[in-house]
Amino acid sequence: MPGDVVLGRDGGVVFIPAHLAEKVVTISELIRLRDMFGHERLRTGVYTSGQIDTCWSDSIEKDFSSWLEEHLNDLPVPTKQIQEILKQRTW
């Protein structure tokens, strides 16, 4: 549709309706941060892949929130955006 955001990558092309673009970006940034956290915790042996690759328990969610706060200035997502994600997070 006219106004859609077009994202082209090696694997294909995705058309995102304009009214959903901001939500898609925000959620993708959250997923990026969750992946970074999960990979770090797997490398250090804190969690198993079975714990990271499924719905996270409340204790892992709390650990993730703490991790975000500890790494605010080291992450590829701006601090203000991370703080907004933490406020609005529903999963």
Residue 4 pLDDT level (bands cut at 50, 70, 90): very high
> What is the residue-averaged pLDDT of the chain?
88
Considering the domain boundaries, does residue 33 fall inside one?
Answer: yes
Considering the domain boundaries, does residue 7 fall inside one?
Answer: no
Considering the domain boundaries, does residue 82 fall inside one?
Answer: yes
Considering the domain boundaries, does residue 36 fall inside one?
Answer: yes
Residue 89 pLDDT level (bands cut at 50, 70, 90): low
Q: Any idea what the Cα angle at residue 75 is, between residues 69 and 76, rounded to 5°?
A: 145
Domain count, the chain: 1
Can you give the residue range of the structural domain that contains 31? Answer: 19-88
pLDDT(83) > 80: no
Considering the domain boundaries, does residue 9 fall inside one?
Answer: no
Considering the domain boundaries, does residue 35 fall inside one?
Answer: yes
Considering the domain boundaries, does residue 44 fall inside one?
Answer: yes
pLDDT(90) > 70: no
User: CA 31 to CA 23: how far, in whole Å?
Assistant: 12
Considering the domain boundaries, does residue 13 fall inside one?
Answer: no
User: CA 41 to CA 49: how far, in whole Å?
Assistant: 9
User: CA 57 to CA 69: how far, in whole Å?
Assistant: 19
